């Protein structure tokens, strides 16, 4: 009897020991898993920090090169520049490849906002050079309206939708209706019906992707629209004709309201000097030489330039642990000696 009881006690003790072993194994596995996860997070954080330092170092090199080039009159108007070549930086195993893109080969939607230094007389109509030109004598506001709608049409958006989008865009930016005889459109219901419900920002756009927030914006056309429009922290539009590509010909065509066709602009770009046009006047000379019969009632000097102050730097950094990409928006003014990194967007890729 006592022998049987002793066997049972040994069995219970063995069972307890097995249960304890299982519990200890589970706890050890959890501790190991937590340790591995913490170690991986630390490696990610160290890699991120290392890549960010490498990107900051690349930014400093690029800003220095940009300011140096822009300070040199012989380089400032050049189409092919030293900084136009990809830059590769390697800091302690963090390899960063950087590409600089001109930020002024687009129409700045924030230029629809009134300029802070504008005076009441600044919006007077221009003096027409040709009374038969239907676009002669348009105010600056009317000029920009026609340009925006022309560019939206060029992206494939129909004229009726383009007109509606222009109204929604000005409402989103918070621009007051300048025509007292025309009631201002109310898009409150259109924003409220979106999912999730939204309201207009009533301020400058930070990114051109905000265009997709307009109630009637056809999202499928965004890739085309993003090639023609941008959102810069400025109330001016100055398109750099030296960095325009053939697929951006609609930008220059819009400034002529279509009288200079995109095909004409492509031919103009094909004849662009190898180092670019030195001044706006030299660009106008070639324009008049190639297309002497094209009418023009808009002062191109207000909308085009042969130099740029805004740039976008695309970084792609890699370590053994991860890949990090960023898009940095720079403002460089060599004359004023100012540099500014005004926007940075990160994207982590495992």
pLDDT-derived band at 205 (thresholds 50, 70, 90) equals very high
Long-range contact list for 335-340, CB < 8 A, 24+ apart? Answer: 339/63, 339/67
pLDDT-derived band at 3 (thresholds 50, 70, 90) equals low
DSSP structure string for 53-96: HHHHHHHHHHHHHHHHHHHSHHHHT-SS-GGGS-EEEEETTEEE
Q: What is the dihedral of CA 280, 283, 289, 295, to 10 degrees?
A: -60
Question: Taking the mean position of all CA atoms in its chain, how far away is CA 149?
Answer: 20
Indicate whether 79 pLDDT > 60: no
Q: What is the pLDDT of residue 292?
A: 78
Q: What is the pLDDT of residue 169?
A: 96
Global pTM reads 0.80
C-alpha closest to that of 342 among 309, 316, 319: 309
Residue pLDDT, tens place only, 128-137: 444 455 566 6
Q: What is the pLDDT of residue 275?
A: 81
Q: What is the pLDDT of residue 117?
A: 60
Percent over 70 (pLDDT), the chain: 84
What mean pLDDT do residues 35-59 have?
Answer: 83
Q: What is the pLDDT of residue 125?
A: 40
Q: Cis ω on the peptide bond leading into residue 196 (within 30° of 0)? A: yes
Domains and CATH numbers, the chain: 2-103+309-349 (3.30.1300.30), 107-305 (1.10.40.60)
Residue pLDDT, tens place only, 232-248: 999 998 999 998 989 89
Percent over 90 (pLDDT), the chain: 34
Q: What is the pLDDT of residue 209?
A: 93
Q: What is the pLDDT of residue 349?
A: 64
The pair of three-digit structure tokens given for residue 252, joined into one six-digit string: 């220059």
Give the integer Cα–Cα distance in Å for 298 and 69: 31
Q: Which range among 36-50, 166-180, 290-304 has the greatest average pLDDT?
A: 166-180
Indicate whether 82 pLDDT > 60: no
Q: What is the pLDDT of residue 76?
A: 52
Q: What is the pLDDT of residue 202?
A: 92
Give the integer Cα–Cα distance in Å for 142 and 140: 5
Indicate whether 38 pLDDT > 80: no
What mean pLDDT do residues 295-315 have?
Answer: 81
Residue pLDDT, tens place only, 245-301: 898 999 999 988 888 899 999 999 999 988 888 888 899 889 888 887 665 556 677
């Amino acid at each position: 009897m006592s022998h049987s009881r002793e066997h049972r006690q040994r069995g219970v003790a063995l069972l307890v020991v097995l249960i304890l072993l299982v519990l200890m194994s589970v706890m050890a596995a959890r501790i190991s898993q937590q340790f591995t996860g913490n170690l991986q997070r630390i490696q990610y954080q160290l890699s991120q920090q290392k890549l960010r330092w490498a990107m900051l170092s690349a930014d400093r090199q690029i800003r220095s090169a940009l300011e140096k080039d822009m300070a040199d009159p012989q380089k400032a108007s050049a189409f092919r520049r030293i900084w136009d070549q990809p830059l590769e930086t390697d800091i302690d195993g963090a390899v960063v490849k950087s590409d600089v893109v001109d930020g002024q080969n687009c129409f700045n939607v924030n230029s629809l906002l009134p300029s802070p230094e504008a005076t009441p007389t600044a919006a007077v109509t221009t003096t027409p050079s040709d009374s038969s030109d239907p676009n002669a004598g348009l105010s600056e506001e009317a000029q920009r309206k026609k340009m925006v709608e022309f560019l939206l049409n060029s992206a494939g958006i129909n004229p009726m939708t383009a007109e509606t989008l222009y109204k929604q865009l000005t409402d989103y930016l918070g621009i007051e209706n300048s025509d007292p005889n025309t009631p201002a459109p109310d898009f409150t219901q259109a924003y409220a019906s979106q999912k999730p419900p939204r309201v207009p920002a009533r301020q400058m756009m930070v990114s051109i992707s905000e265009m997709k927030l307009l109630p009637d914006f056809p999202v499928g056309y965004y890739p085309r629209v993003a090639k023609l429009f941008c959102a810069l922290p400025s109330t001016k539009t100055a398109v750099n004709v030296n960095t325009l590509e053939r697929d951006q010909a609609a930008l220059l065509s819009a400034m002529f309201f279509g009288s200079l066709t995109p095909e004409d602009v492509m031919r103009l770009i094909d004849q662009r000097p190898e180092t670019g046009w030195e001044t706006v006047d030299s660009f106008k000379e070639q324009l008049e030489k190639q297309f002497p019969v094209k009418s023009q009632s808009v002062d191109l000097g207000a909308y085009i330039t042969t130099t740029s102050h805004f740039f976008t730097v695309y970084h792609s950094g890699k370590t053994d642990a991860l890949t990090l990409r960023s898009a940095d928006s720079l403002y460089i003014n060599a004359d004023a000696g100012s540099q500014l990194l005004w926007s940075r967007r990160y994207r982590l890729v495992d």
